[in-house]
Amino acid sequence: MSTEVETPAAGAAGEGPGGPGTRRVDAAQYGLAAVLLVVGAYTVVDAATLEVGFADPVGPRIFPFVIGAGLVVTSVLLAVATARGSRPEPEAGEDVDVTTPADWRTVLKLVGVILLTIATVTWLGWALAGAILFAGAAWALGSRTVVRDVLVGLVLAVGSWYGFVVGLGIPLTPGVLDGIL
Amino acid sequence: MENLGLLWDGLGAALTPMNLLYAAVGVLLGTFVGVLPGIGPAMAIALLLPVTFGLEPTQAFIMFAGLYYGGMYGGSTTSILLNTPGESASVMTALEGNRMARAGRGAQALATAAVGSFVAGTIGTLLVAMFAPALADVAVEIGAPSYFALMVLALVMTATVLGASPLRGLLSLFVGLTIGLVGLDLNTGQPRLTFGVTQLVDRLDIVVVAVGIFALGEALWVAAHLRRKPARVVPVGQPWLGREDLRRSWRPWLRGTAFGFPFGALPAGGAELPTFLSYVTERRLAKRSATKGRGTEDEDEFGRGAIEGVAGPEAANNASAAGMLVPMLALGLPVTATASVMLSALQGYGIQPGPQLMTEHADMVWTLLASLLVGNLLLLVLNLPLAPLWARLLRIPRPQLYAGILFFACLGAYATNLDPFDIALLLVFGLLGMAMRRFGLPVLPLILGVILGPLMETKLREALTISGGDPAILWSEPLAVAIYAVLLLVLVTRPLLSRWRSRTESRIVAEAETEAVTEGSAR
């Protein structure tokens, strides 16, 4: 019985997400507009320093001028649209639940793990750095089966090292394991 | 007919035991990665690009072909067995497919998707073999102004016609064009936007950009919003099609193919609109034959899991995937995210996109087309029996899944130049990709901008050099004028079109929900 009452309500909610009462300004969008404005302006400034070659009526400047100007104009328009209440539609997906607030701590942890990989990959070699990357990322995402993750990471990293070096002839660094692998 | 001969030669090149092995590996890897939740075909190919680095171009192409159709098929498995479609092109498949799965007909849904993909892919590939060479013959004659106009058309249309917000599409496009500027200017050798960093001088590696935006960006975005309870996976048995299912499927397959192929070949066509049109058509036809009393009463099962609603959109999806090869191979113009990733992979072999692709690298193109046919067949042979295994992949725990994506993304970036700097670049593009998902900026215009930007500048300067700097040359050719006219027309009619579409779409979804609810309460 209750389903029949709910159906029209659900349909109406689907028609207009967020009625007139819920319109809020997405302040972060101003930040995006500002960053893109700076990038666009910098592109124009950078292009202005280029020299136009001899016997080249166009030169390397026109294209960046147009792109930079386009970026500046569109970011200003975005700022205007933001002020008028335009809100982004965050991308949904199979594992994405956009109704929950963003969990930036997990993202920061993942960024940290990748930075660690960048810093250590030459020294440790891919086989170890990759294993740490996998285990670290799984931990950051909430896995607590550390031993299993490290083992899986080692298998993946050592396997991919051999696959690339032997199978594809791409010499990934062995690092500290040089001579052992 | 000459084309068929060339295709036959291509088949000869593709059908050595070693090459068949590469095709099979490609199909399996592509399906494996495509099935994984959260990974669409473009991301699957981007992630797997490094695997082809050490291969000869021909073998790499054969593997691409397998990866491509494998990734596509894997994506449809996911949308049938999970409630949430991973990409816009599978929304329609998921609508009926998931209902079928929940009604215990998941095996038939997977089978009609697989066979439909095979039918559409095969017809589509043959059509590409027929049309692309003729188009390429015309294309090499196209002057720089018209080619420039064509790229403007492709870029502006992808930016403004697809997606909910044209403004955000344009923003994304300009960011992509800016990324495409980084590095040495091709004519004068002056560095642009390099900040004095030596690694940036020889231009950004497109693989790093693509993997960053698609794979890492998606993984970081998922990390920020990870679903606490993973979506429910519907268990499934061995896919098979009964005679009744086959009878109901074959016409939707062909109709879906007819919708998908032309749209795939158009800039900003993509798979979204044809899958939608196919769904609407099948639904209408089912309704009509049900009211006319020609069929039994359950013929109109829409909203409760109709096989036609899976067969049609799936065929449309795959046919459009084949259709996009026409502009890619004949004009060197990618029109979808997947095409742009494939084209960027070709650049890794020193093959420049552009109309000369088909003439200068004819043997490779024919091998690719033949491999697509082979890959398509292998897909059917391998994947029907393997489907229950693939379904089990959907239960993979999410922390390990996304850790794996991070792992392979970093491996791919690192393997391009064996320089940790590339992982840093990957991180930068990953963060950009995440921000784009947060701010609803579409990914496709950006990636097309990165790839087409440099080519556009070359053509622009070529044209303006001929005219001595007079911009009037840009509309001096009749073809160029026609293209700009088409662009104008599309931009004018866009608001009307999108209003019609969103209205029909929301009505269908609402109706389907109502029917499902009434069905549920009736039981």
DSSP secondary structure letters along B49-81: GGGGTTS-HHHHHHHHHHHHHHHHHHHHHHHHH
> A1 pLDDT exceeds 50?
no
Q: What is the pLDDT of residue A2?
A: 36
Query: Which stretch, A68-77, B241-250, B359-368, has highest mean pLDDT?
Result: A68-77
Residue A178 at interface with chain B, using a CB cutoff of 8 Å: no
Q: How sure is the predictor about A11, in pLDDT bands with cuts at 50, 70 and 90? A: very low
Residue A125 at interface with chain B, using a CB cutoff of 8 Å: no
Q: How sure is the predictor about A41, in pLDDT bands with cuts at 50, 70 and 90? A: very high
Q: What is the pLDDT of residue B515?
A: 58
Query: Tokens 């994304």 map to which residue?
Result: B172
Q: Which of B398, B453, B460 sits opposite A141 (nearest CB)?
A: B398
Domain count, chain B: 1
Would you call B438 and A90 a contact, using CB atoms and an 8 Å cutoff? yes
Q: What is the pLDDT of residue B512?
A: 62
Q: How far is B243 from chain A, CA to nearest CA, in Å?
A: 33
Q: What is the pLDDT of residue A138?
A: 94
Choose, out of A94, A111, A114, A121, the residue to mutate when testing the contact with B (most B CBs < 10 Å).
A94
Q: What is the pLDDT of residue A22?
A: 47
Choose, out of A95, A111, A128, the residue to mutate when testing the contact with B (most B CBs < 10 Å).
A95
Report the alpha-carbon distance of residue B486 to residue B455 in Å, rounded: 22
Residue range B311-358, pLDDT digits in tens: 999 899 889 888 888 888 888 888 887 788 887 777 777 777 667 777
Contact B139, B331 (CB under 8 A): yes
Q: What is the pLDDT of residue B522?
A: 45
Q: Which of B84, B418, B468 sits opposite A171 (nearest CB)?
A: B418
Q: How sure is the predictor about B481, in pLDDT bands with cuts at 50, 70 and 90? A: very high
Would you call A142 and B514 a contact, using CB atoms and an 8 Å cutoff? no
Residue range B87-107, pLDDT digits in tens: 667 778 888 888 888 888 888
Q: How far is B4 from chain A, CA to nearest CA, in Å?
A: 33
> A37 pLDDT exceeds 90?
yes
Would you call A93 and B53 a contact, using CB atoms and an 8 Å cutoff? no
Report the alpha-carbon distance of residue B475 to residue B197 in Å, rounded: 38
Q: What is the pLDDT of residue A115?
A: 96
Q: How far is A138 from chain B, CA to nearest CA, in Å?
A: 5
Contacts of A148 (CB under 8 A, 6+ apart): none
Instruction: Give the number of other CB atoms < 10 A from CB of residue B426.
Output: 29
Q: How sure is the predictor about A132, in pLDDT bands with cuts at 50, 70 and 90? A: very high
Report the alpha-carbon distance of residue B179 to residue B4 in Å, rounded: 40
Q: How far is B395 from chain A, CA to nearest CA, in Å?
A: 12
Would you call A78 and B434 a contact, using CB atoms and an 8 Å cutoff? no
Contacts of A22 (CB under 8 A, 6+ apart): none
Would you call A92 and B84 a contact, using CB atoms and an 8 Å cutoff? yes
Q: How sure is the predictor about A124, in pLDDT bands with cuts at 50, 70 and 90? A: very high
Would you call A103 and B226 a contact, using CB atoms and an 8 Å cutoff? yes
Q: What is the pLDDT of residue B122?
A: 92
Cβ contacts (< 8 Å) between A130 and chain B: which residues? Answer: 407, 410-411
Report the alpha-carbon distance of residue B37 to residue B55 in Å, rounded: 28
Contact B128, B350 (CB under 8 A): no
Report the alpha-carbon distance of residue A76 to residue A36 in Å, rounded: 9
Contacts of A110 (CB under 8 A, 6+ apart): A137, A140, A141, B219, B220, B223, B406
Q: What is the pLDDT of residue B518?
A: 55
Instruction: Give the number of other CB atoms < 10 A from CB of residue B118.
Output: 22
b/e for B283-302, b at 16 or more Cβ within 10 A? bebbeeebeeeeeeeebbbb
> B464 pLDDT exceeds 90?
no
Report the alpha-carbon distance of residue A65 to residue B1 in Å, rounded: 48
Q: Please give the residue that has the higher pLDDT: either A153 or B77.
A: A153
Q: Please give the residue that has the higher pLDDT: either B509 or B66.
A: B66
Cβ contacts (< 8 Å) between B437 and chain A: which residues? Answer: 90-91
Residue A77 at interface with chain B, using a CB cutoff of 8 Å: yes
Report the alpha-carbon distance of residue B69 to residue B113 in Å, rounded: 12
Q: Which of B165, B224, B231 sits opposite A94 (nearest CB)?
A: B231
Residue range B132-148, pLDDT digits in tens: 888 888 887 888 898 89
Mean pLDDT of B157-176: 87
Residue A93 at interface with chain B, using a CB cutoff of 8 Å: yes
Residue range B196-229, pLDDT digits in tens: 888 888 888 888 888 898 889 989 998 998 876 6
Would you call A97 and B190 a contact, using CB atoms and an 8 Å cutoff? no
Cβ contacts (< 8 Å) between A40 and chain B: which residues? Answer: 174, 178
Residue A114 at interface with chain B, using a CB cutoff of 8 Å: yes
Q: How sure is the predictor about B293, in pLDDT bands with cuts at 50, 70 and 90? A: low
> B195 pLDDT exceeds 70?
yes
Q: How far is A177 from chain B, CA to nearest CA, in Å?
A: 17
Phi, psi of B226 (to 5 degrees): -60, 130
Q: What is the pLDDT of residue B229?
A: 67
Beta B191-192 vs B183-184: how paired, if at all? antiparallel
Would you call B460 and A14 a contact, using CB atoms and an 8 Å cutoff? no
Q: How sure is the predictor about B84, in pLDDT bands with cuts at 50, 70 and 90? A: low
Report the alpha-carbon distance of residue B82 to residue B86 in Å, rounded: 9
- Does ipTM come in above 0.90? no
Would you call A107 and B174 a contact, using CB atoms and an 8 Å cutoff? no
Lowest mean pLDDT among A44-53, B231-240, B383-392: B231-240
Q: What is the pLDDT of residue A19?
A: 38
Cβ contacts (< 8 Å) between A107 and chain B: which residues? Answer: 220, 223-224, 434
Q: What is the pLDDT of residue A16?
A: 36
Q: Is B318 exposed, middle or buried (0-12, 13-18, 19+ CB in 10 A)?
A: buried
Give the DSSP letter of residue B16.
Answer: S
Cβ contacts (< 8 Å) between A1 and chain B: which residues? Answer: 521
Distances A77 to A71, B15, B262, B437, B498 between C-alpha atoms, Å: 10, 54, 34, 19, 21
The domain of B513 spans: 2-522
> B270 pLDDT exceeds 60?
yes
Choose, out of B80, B98, B439, the residue to mutate when testing the contact with A (most A CBs < 10 Å).
B439
Residue A27 at interface with chain B, using a CB cutoff of 8 Å: no
Phi, psi of B494 (to 5 degrees): -55, -45
Q: How sure is the predictor about B179, in pLDDT bands with cuts at 50, 70 and 90? A: very high
Would you call A104 and B224 a contact, using CB atoms and an 8 Å cutoff? yes
Q: Please give the residue that has the higher pLDDT: either B417 or B164.
A: B417
Q: Please give the residue that has the higher pLDDT: either B230 or A84.
A: A84
Would you call A43 and B178 a contact, using CB atoms and an 8 Å cutoff? yes
> B513 pLDDT exceeds 70?
no
Q: Please give the residue that has the higher pLDDT: either B101 or B233.
A: B101
Q: What is the pLDDT of residue B87?
A: 66
Residue range B13-51, pLDDT digits in tens: 777 888 888 888 888 888 888 888 767 777 777 887 777
Q: What is the pLDDT of residue B520?
A: 47
Report the alpha-carbon distance of residue B46 to residue A102 in Å, rounded: 26
Q: What is the pLDDT of residue A54?
A: 65
Distances B149 to A74, B115, B132 between C-alpha atoms, Å: 21, 39, 20
Q: What is the pLDDT of residue B243?
A: 85
Contacts of B123 (CB under 8 A, 6+ apart): B257, B261, B319, B322
Q: What is the pLDDT of residue B397?
A: 86
> A6 pLDDT exceeds 70?
no
> B172 pLDDT exceeds 90?
yes
Size of interface A-B (CB pairs under 8 A): 265
Residue range B51-76, pLDDT digits in tens: 777 777 778 877 877 888 888 888 78
Q: Please give the residue that has the higher pLDDT: either B506 or A141.
A: A141
Q: Which of B460, B506, B520 sits opposite A3 (nearest CB)?
A: B520
Q: How far is A174 from chain B, CA to nearest CA, in Å?
A: 11
